[in-house]
Structure 1
């Protein structure tokens, strides 16, 4: 099939897990013989003079054609003018696709998240081909069901439009399928679940690197906890920090390394001070892949305390590194980490539950290692990219070309759109 993929991030522009997901998926689709063109963007803050539009093969896989679209001249900032910035990006993508892909016609358009809704819907309408939309997360979910600001209501309405217009909707977990069905008035049986994937070998670490990481992060052989990902409130690292004093009372000297960047870093630093564990917590910032893999492999436990998590690719990465997993049951994490089998779980926001689960790991390292082994063993059959690419291609082939539709604005309740939380 000829597949046109639209994503607001794609290497070298990677903001979070979405960019890595799209990159891995299209490479696997290309390996299976599909003809893939990706439309993405240049770096934020650049323009056509400093970073002009490029059209050529992906440096990592020449079978993939990538259209990296320059930003428009308008002085719009992602941080200050999100919706206007997204509209401008969408217009630039649409112009580039219509003018530079002349003579090439896709069999399907695949949109990844709301930021590319406008160009994806327009291209599917103009070309008369099916529109597949993957909803990676929702605005309501990120805010625990509340849409209290004008920006949140704007984003939600674009998500609603994309989900209602798409000929096939995909989510990364059963939990997200239920969330999307509730938010956008869709039949859950018509929403496909395709998990995110992992390439396990990328996370293999030699013993020397593991030992070096332990000396670096936890000298003296003390227990080492690790958490990684974006430092945002919904990731729940504040709950892990609150649980750390209880863990240290049972296991003196325990250290926590938090890897990643985000808007809540200073809040988390203050949280560590408030709970008198600041000297026991290292905020490592962004770590290169090899250093992150070494940290995960060296950890006594990797703790993922998310309050909201559509899928939880971090759990797959930790499992690929062979780390014992302790994770909340938020969203997709409850599907990735099977309590008592591939890790230990706790309810989102449950500080005592975090401490108890970590205590269980540290008290019985042999059982923790066995759970880690089972977690790693299921990566290939359940979360391997070849399996995911086959399932995605099946969705492409089955999607009908519904054609343009006109929809009104969604009615947004003043209360919690996901119900009590």
Structure 2
């Protein structure tokens, strides 16, 4: 039986004559694991001008089960087996709980579109597509093959199969770059016209008046120049390249140092490697930082760097660019579609510490050029990657899919 808050929100939404859409995601702010939650948050904010947006997501703790924030309806569920330490069992329980909630919501709402984000919510998406007779659009943010440069283990095979089932069962698939489109076409053998390429978006942040006040406890070195990076501590992010490059930076620039923020399974391994190479005084891995600290570090740094081996898009590169800081990015994947070398950023060769050091030197030794590149990157980010623009492109996919569904129903 639905609680009073849920009932009130559902009743209030009846007065809204906008078409309704349901977005499925396993993470949504304030529950942030990776970049997916920020993507869905930004997209929902852009779509709410045209749709009544409902988010169905996991409840990681004691968050409200249903609330309306900034005009967006958020419904949170706990997995049926939320204490199960096996992640795949946990995901299965999450999808079952999401299916139950979607069925409950459908008694109050007629959803025009279901929009799933990655395989983690794929089972729910495929199930409610059939039960609600509603078009399913799926955004594939990354693939298991791409993350691991192949499929090797039973777990990877399982995830790859789930991705395949979701992609083939969806009415339309969205990817964030031409690079990702080619990867999906190659791995899953679907028709090219079934895939739409829509970039990630970025919101312009209000600059902090006193960023220093937010950095207490972090390894900030006064009077020295900061090179900043952030991401999940996994192999594909390429942070091992920065550790190897730290010795070059240390020898050449006594006033430069690196902070690489983020959490993940390789955090302790990176810290250990930095210590073994005797560069732990110049490259620091503080672990998790909050969003305000993240913004403060982007404001404070001289350079941002993203040395990924695999990056379908690279939203963190946009976060650096939107603050006006010059970004060095790997010449790979979706990053190639964001940056124009020596105009809106600089390219480095993936996995090559000398290439990174060369590009960093070009910026550290030419502050005026670095400032120009930062400002040009900022203009690119603001003009091409606003969430309003991304939402408009997504809306076109939604409308085309809705029309196709209605035509099929007439046949």
TM-score normalised by length of structure 2: 0.89
| 1:297 CA displacement | 1.9
Aligned match for 2:387, one of 366, 385, 396: 385
- Whether 1:154 aligns to 2:162 is no
Query: For this pair of structures, how many residues does the alignment match?
Result: 388
Residue 76 of structure 1, aligned match among 77, 80, 84: 84
Post-superposition Cα deviations, 1:16-39, rounded to whole Å, max 9, x if no partner, equal 111111112112211x13111111
In the TM superposition, residue 164 of structure 1 has moved relative to its aligned partner by: 0.8
Corresponding residue for 1:163?
167
Is 1:195 aligned to residue 199 of structure 2? yes
**CA offsets, 1:266-287, max 9 Å, x none?**
1111221232211122222222
The 1:53/1:91 distance shift into structure 2, 3 A limit, reads farther
What is the alpha-carbon distance in structure 2 between the residues aligned to residue 322 and residue 258 of structure 1?
19
Aligned to 1:25: 43
Secondary structure, aligned partner of 1:107: strand
Structure-2 separation of matches of 1:107 and 1:26 = 15
CA shift digits 1:108-148 (9 cap, x unpaired)? 1100000111111111112222110000011111101x211
Alignment of 1:403-418 (within 5 A): none
Quick one: distance in 2 between partners of 1:102 and 1:123?
A: 13
Alignment of 1:10 with 2:28, yes or no, is: yes
Are 1:227 and 2:229 an aligned pair? yes
Structure 1 stretches of 4+ with a deviation exceeding 4 A read 210-218
Note closer, same or farther for the CA distance 1:187–1:329 as it changes in structure 2 (3 Å cut): farther
CA contact (8 A) 2:81 2:93 kept: no
Match of 1:312 among 304, 311, 314: 314
User: 3-state DSSP class of the match of 1:332?
Assistant: helix
Q: C-alpha deviations, 1:164-217, integer Å up to 9, x for none?
A: 111110001111111111111123343111111111134x233x5369969975
Contact 1:26 1:64 in 2 (8 A): yes
Q: Report the Cα distance in structure 1 between the residues aligned to 2:36 and 2:28, rounded to whole angstroms.
A: 8
| CA pair 213-343 structure 1, distance change in 2 beyond 3 A | farther
How far did residue 291 of structure 1 move? 2.2
| Gap change, CA 1:275 and 1:166, over 3 Å in 2 | same
1:360 counterpart = 2:366: no
Which of 37, 43, 55 is matched with 2:66 structurally? Answer: 55
Matches of 2:337 and 2:198 in 1, distance apart?
A: 12
Contact persistence 2:322–2:382 (CA under 8 A)? no
| Rounded Cα–Cα distance in structure 1 between residues aligned with 2:165 and 2:80 | 24
Distance in 1 between residues matched to 2:82 and 2:76, nearest whole Å: 18
In 2: Cα distance, 1:375 partner to 1:300 partner = 14
Contact 1:309 1:333 in 2 (8 A): yes
Contact 2:238 2:309 in 1 (8 A): yes
1:268 equivalent in alignment to 2:270: yes
Name the counterpart of 2:348.
346
Q: Among residues 242, 245, 260, which one is paired with 2:244 in the alignment?
A: 242
Matches within 5 A, 1:198-209: 198-202=202-206, 204-206=207-209, 208-209=210-211
Q: For the residues of structure 1 that align with 2:191 and 2:29, how far apart are their CA atoms?
A: 34
Return 5+ residue gaps in structure 2 as ranges: 1-18
- Distance between the aligned counterparts of 1:53 and 1:71, measured in 2? 15
Q: Which runs of 5+ in 1 are unaligned?
A: 405-421
For the 8 Å contact 2:218–2:286, the answer to whether it is kept is no
Is 1:92 paired with 2:103? no
SS of residue paired to 2:109: coil
The separation in 1 between residues aligned to 2:374 and 2:45, in whole angstroms, is 28
